[in-house]
Chain A
Amino acid sequence: GALVYQYPRRTICKSGTSMRMECQAVGFQATSVAWYRQSPQKTFELIALSTVNSAIKYEQNFTQEKFPISHPNLSFSSMTVLNAYLEDRGLYLCGARQVSGNTLYFGEGSRLIVV
């Protein structure tokens, strides 16, 4: 079956430092990867959509300068939160989609805590 692993599950970082998170697709080829942030109120914000061999598309209010993403192959993507502050707290979710599919398969998320 299609599985998505995210690492790390949880990070506590000091205000102004950075956190890198990874997303690994297992059992399928992740043509597209969508990075979301889930707020404490449980709502989803789409950060960016990354498709292999295409430009990464960032949503309004999110930039490459703040959330650089790498998607080098069909099984792996990473995203960094640069200069994290309190407003960057939340659960960062990676949703991966295979070539012929409609469905996003999500990982468990990487929780960012900023102190």
Chain B
Amino acid sequence: GDSVIQMQGQVTLSENDFLFINCTYSTTGYPTLFWYVQYSGEGPQLLLQVTTANNKGSSRGFEATYDKGTTSFHLQKTSVQEIDSAVYYCAMRAGGNYKPTFGKGTSLVVHP
């Protein structure tokens, strides 16, 4: 079945540090890949999505490239800020399956 594996637990950084959150996926279909961000006390918000293999999605300084060869969709940001502190979820929707599969989430804490 479809699955998404992302780096779990907490990542602690200082402002202006480089962020990298690992995400890999498994499916027999043709996936659309997502990153959602959930701030404390709120619902998940779409951060970025990519439908086509080898394309890159970007938003608010975050980037992720749909790498079909390594079945990965890692999230990166060159310089994080304190306001980026949140839980980040990698997700996938494959083919006619309208229910995205979510990773277990990675908590990012950025200290000023």
Please list the residues of chain A having a beta carbon within 8 angstroms of any beta carbon in chain B: 4, 6, 32, 34, 41-44, 46, 49, 51, 93, 95, 97, 102-109
- In the complex, the answer to whether A107 meets B46 with C-beta atoms within 8 Å is no
Q: Chain B interface (Cβ within 8 Å of chain A)?
A: 32, 34, 36, 38, 42-46, 49, 51, 87, 89, 93, 98-100, 102, 104-105, 107
Interface of B is mostly: strand
| Complexed CA–CA distance, A108 and B34 (Å) | 18
Please name all residues of chain B whose beta carbon is closer than 8 Å to the beta carbon of A103 when the two chains form the complex. 34, 46, 49
CB B100 to nearest CB in A, in angstroms, measures 6
Complex interface: chain B residues within 8 A of A93 (CB):
43-44
Q: Which of B32, B99, B104 contacts A42 (CB 8 A)?
A: B104
Across the interface, A32 reaches (CB within 8 A) one of B38, B45, B89, B98, namely B98
User: Given A102-B51, A108-B42 in contact, is the A44-B98 Cβ separation under 8 Å?
Assistant: no
B98 touches A105 (CB 8 A): no
Q: Which residue of A lies closest to B97 (CB)?
A: A49
B43 near A107 with CB under 8 A, answer yes
Closest chain A residue to B101, Cβ basis: A46
Docked Cα-Cα span, A103 to B45, in Å, equals: 10
Given A34-B99, A43-B104, A46-B99, A102:B43 Cβ within 8 A: no
Specify which of B45, B49, B89, B98 is in contact with A51 (CB 8 Å cutoff): B98
Report the minimum CB–CB distance from A91 to chain B (whole Å). 8
- B102 and A44 form a contact (CB under 8 A): yes
Q: How far is B26's CA from A33's CA once the two chains are assembled, in angstroms?
A: 24
